Each structure stands twice: as C-alpha cells, then as structure tokens.
C-alpha cells in the first residue's frame, strides 16, 4: 500500500477534510466576524500540540526519516512565532482554552505515541497534506487573509509534504498487515479531525 492509495480509497472523506465553507469564506472574504480570529487562536494551540507529537516521533523514526521530521519540527517552532506576530497585529489573546474539537485532536496526537511507526508517520503526512490542500483551495485568498494563504501554500511546504509522503510510503511498504490497518485507521481519524476543525472554525463564537 502506498500512502497515495489511501487518498484514492477514501476520496469523499478526504474531500470533506480539505474543502470547506470556511475556506471558501477565506477565499471570498465572506467569513462571519471573529471566525478567522477564533480559528487562528485554536490553530496556534494545535501547532503547540503538534510540536509535542513530532518531537516524540523523532527518536523512534528510522535514521532515514529523522532529518525530515526534525526539519519539520524546526519549521513548526517557527510557525509558533509567526502566529504570535499575527496575533499581536490583530490584538488576539493566544492564551485561550482548547475548543472540545481541538482537545479531541490533541488526545489523538497523544495516542499516536503508542501506534506503530508506519501509522504515526502516515498520520503526520495526512495532517500536513490536508492543511496544504485545504489552503490551496482558498487561493488566492481575500486580501484580508491572503498572507495566510500564501504562507501555507509555499513550494517549501509542498516539498515537505512530498518528503513525508515518501517516508510514509516506505514505512507502509515494510509494514505488517496489522500495521497497515492501523495506518488506515489513523488516516481516517485525521480526515475526520481535520473536517471537524474547519467545522469548529465556522461554528465558534468570536473569541472562543
Ligand atoms: C488543524 N491541521 C491543522 N492545523 C495545522 N496547523 C496543520 C494541520 C498543519 O500543521
């Protein structure tokens, strides 16, 4: 099983994870007041949780994947600073509580620690790929949000996602049947959690 086969097998659920009225609102400038800001604060907290997951993955990754994942970790840390700058510009308080949807995603990331490596690297690939595709669907973005759309659709980010695809594919090649099943489960969980995250973004009251 190649990582890409998962996208074909679960096309409808993948679409739901990467196309959403929130992203159309980003493209068209039709988001309700406060929705983008509430989402930004929640995504900052998600990236913090992602930093934990990704750092725990490095010591058990094969040597061939460690530089890739460590590079991604450094980029995530830079991402936190970018969120902090944007929050300051927009006068947002980043010390918010996690929305229940975000808390569920955090629990999933913590649970990945006890999943076999092929499942964990498949999840990381799916998380990043979903984000890249989602923001690509919002291109070029309404002027209010364009810098965000550009930031999350760079060739560097696309290259990183390709690297993760290769790593997940190699891990799945060498995986047992049981491990592949776990990888498929985690892929589906990511698709659901990503969809829920966009849902949260549209349904949250401003300042969630
Ligand atoms: C919800 N998924 C979500 N937020 C992100 N920042 C990413 C993926 C990419 O790290």
Ligand 1 center from residue 43 Cα (angstroms): 7
Nearest CA owner, ligand 1 atom 10: 128
The pLDDT of residue 208: 40
CA atoms within 13 A on the CB side of 120: 22
The pLDDT of residue 157: 97
Ligand 1 center from residue 124 Cα (angstroms): 10
Residues 6+ apart with CB under 8 A from 137: 18, 19, 23, 27
C-alpha to C-alpha distance for 27 and 42, rounded to whole angstroms: 20
- Measured from CB, residues less than 6 Å from any atom of ligand 1 are 43, 46-47, 50, 127-128, 131, 194, 197
Ligand 1 center from residue 57 Cα (angstroms): 17
Ligand 1 center from residue 188 Cα (angstroms): 15
The pLDDT of residue 2: 76
Residue 161 and residue 128 in contact, taking contact as beta carbons nearer than 8 Å: yes
pLDDT in tens, the chain (208 residues): 678 799 999 999 999 999 999 999 999 999 999 999 999 999 999 999 999 999 999 999 999 999 999 999 999 999 999 999 999 999 999 999 999 999 999 999 999 999 999 999 999 999 999 999 999 999 999 999 999 999 999 999 999 999 999 999 999 999 999 999 999 999 999 999 999 999 999 986 544 4
C-alpha to C-alpha distance for 141 and 42, rounded to whole angstroms: 20
The pLDDT of residue 204: 65
Structure token pair of residue 70: 């460590």
Is the model's pTM score more than 0.85?
Answer: yes
């Amino acid at each position: 099983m190649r990582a890409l086969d998962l996208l074909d097998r679960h096309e409808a659920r993948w679409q739901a994870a990467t196309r959403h009225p929130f992203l159309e609102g980003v493209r068209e400038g039709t988001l309700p007041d406060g929705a983008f800001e509430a989402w930004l604060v929640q995504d900052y907290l998600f990236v913090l949780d992602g930093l934990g997951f990704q750092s725990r993955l490095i010591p058990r990754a094969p040597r061939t994947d460690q530089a890739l994942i460590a590079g991604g970790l450094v980029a995530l840390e830079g991402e936190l600073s970018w969120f902090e700058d944007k929050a300051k510009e927009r006068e947002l308080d980043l010390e918010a509580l996690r929305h229940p949807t975000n808390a569920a995603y955090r629990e999933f990331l913590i649970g990945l620690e006890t999943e076999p490596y092929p499942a964990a690297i498949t999840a990381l690939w799916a998380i990043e790929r979903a984000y890249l595709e989602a923001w690509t669907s919002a291109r070029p973005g309404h002027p209010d949000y364009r810098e965000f759309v550009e930031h999350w659709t760079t060739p560097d980010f696309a290259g990183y996602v390709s690297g993760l695809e290769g790593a997940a594919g190699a891990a799945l090649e060498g995986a047992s049947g049981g491990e592949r099943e776990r990888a498929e489960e985690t892929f589906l969980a990511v698709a659901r959690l990503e969809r829920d995250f966009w849902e949260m973004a549209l349904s949250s009251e401003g300042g969630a």
